A and B are shown apart, each in its own frame.
Chain A
Amino acid sequence: KAGVTQTPRYLIKTRGQQVTLSCSPISGHRSVSWYQQTPGQGLQFLFEYFSETQRNKGNFPGRFSGRQFSNSRSEMNVSTLELGDSALYLCASSPLPGQAYEQYFGPGTRLTVT
């Protein structure tokens, strides 16, 4: 079974721009969660989607948004990029909603904001 895939793997953007990251879950998994990893803050939960609905959201500003499509693929968008948004963005899928189930992580998208 193919694992979680994320595109692009690397991205360089300028302050003020917006960015869209994509995540394809493991086949049959309907829950997708997004995480941000920075050296200072560690791994932090952004949001979780299941059946095209956002189930849960972390403590991030409204510039961070996401969506899920009917095939369970998910995108996250960051508008008006700030230098502090430079991070590794990971998505993870699981068969069922609720993060009590183990998360299967993708390789991540490394975003650099200059």
Chain B
Amino acid sequence: ILNVEQSPQSLHVQEGDSTNFTCSFPSSNFYALHWYRWETAKSPEALFVMTLNGDEKKKGRISATLNTKEGYSYLYIKGSQPEDSATYLCALIQGAQKLVFGQGTRLTINP
């Protein structure tokens, strides 16, 4: 069974601080990695889709890196704001082309 691990499970950060969290996955048969942000009472929103080893993507204050050889991706948030409070999900596709989600990192920004 494919295992996508996210750490930490939850995180409390002061407003203005920067933070990062990890998505770990088996490195074999890698196809693509997705990051989603899921705010309470809303739908999951796509942040990034990453396919190449060494990929770095950025959207505003949020960025992500990908290392397919060692099986991990980092998501960084610079200068956290209250609106960044959400659960951040990563999801992996291997050769079977089925998205497998991690359990998520629940981020809370304290004002």
Q: Determine if A90 and B44 form an interchain contact, defined as CB atoms under 8 angstroms apart.
A: yes
B100 CB within 8 Å of chain A: yes
* A binding-site residues for B, Cβ under 8 Å: 3-4, 33, 35, 42-45, 55-56, 58, 90, 92, 98-108
Answer whether A103 and B103 are a contact pair too, CB < 8 Å, given A43-B89, A90-B44. Answer: no
Category for how many chain B residues contact A = 20 to 34
Tell me which residues across on chain B come within 8 A of A58, comparing CB atoms. Answer: 98
B73: shortest Cβ distance to chain A, in Å?
15
Tell me which residues across on chain B come within 8 A of A103, comparing CB atoms. Answer: 34, 36, 44, 46, 99
Q: Determine if A105 and B43 form an interchain contact, defined as CB atoms under 8 angstroms apart.
A: yes
B101 CB within 8 Å of chain A: yes
Quick one: which of B43, B98, B102 contacts A90, CB cutoff 8 A? Answer: B43
B55 CB within 8 Å of chain A: no
Tell me which residues across on chain A come within 8 A of B109, comparing CB atoms. Answer: none
Q: Known contacts A35-B101, A42-B103, A90-B44; can you find 8 more A-B pairs with CB under 8 A?
A: A33-B99, A43-B44, A43-B91, A100-B32, A100-B49, A103-B34, A105-B45, A107-B43
